[in-house]
Structure 1
């Protein structure tokens, strides 16, 4: 199974180190008639490939990310494991690890299959300020 590595150049225009949230999306480049899609039409078709935090120094930053590190996928071994083999016999940490929910796309299914001719797509990468993204307070509602 092969994995891809992406490298993005990001400019931090402030004079301070910042934490950013990187989101990577993919959308079809052309519509069903083969015409280029406008961003307005694409925006509902984007699939999220990854989301992660980075520390950005002032000026130019190179962000490297391997596809196997995606936050929306799980390893092949977790996807197609034998649920009968290796099952712990007693409750505890081992059982909790074994019962891992397996939520996420299998790594080998992250990208659309496409066709023999290819599947022209557009990659959309955005970096936002982590401070503006994070949940600062959590409110519990009692019933």
Structure 2
């Protein structure tokens, strides 16, 4: 992969807001921090689903790619509904599950193993940041 170190740097720098907001939420008991975390997570998930949508359209090697395409297109709509109507705890739990689902779709359709390794690490770290936020919510009663 060309410019692998640059890609790696950009990918991992996307974790900074997740962990900065997670740590800030322990020090500053404000709903704004949690809302920023939620919106950032929604934006990243929407970007990942958009990337998957492009990959599914380009690849189209599997017979069941239409089912995945349907899921990838409708997921951001469901996540926006979650953002609007669900409580914080439920939102963060749902978002963590959807990060895992995006990873499963990536594993099925992406063949670049270096990129998949980065994505796996990022997915684990993002899910951990969601767990940290959930621990804060339940321990502080925000």
TM-score, length basis structure 1: 0.26
Q: Which has the higher helix share?
A: 2
TM-score, length basis structure 2: 0.26
Q: Which has the higher strand share?
A: 1
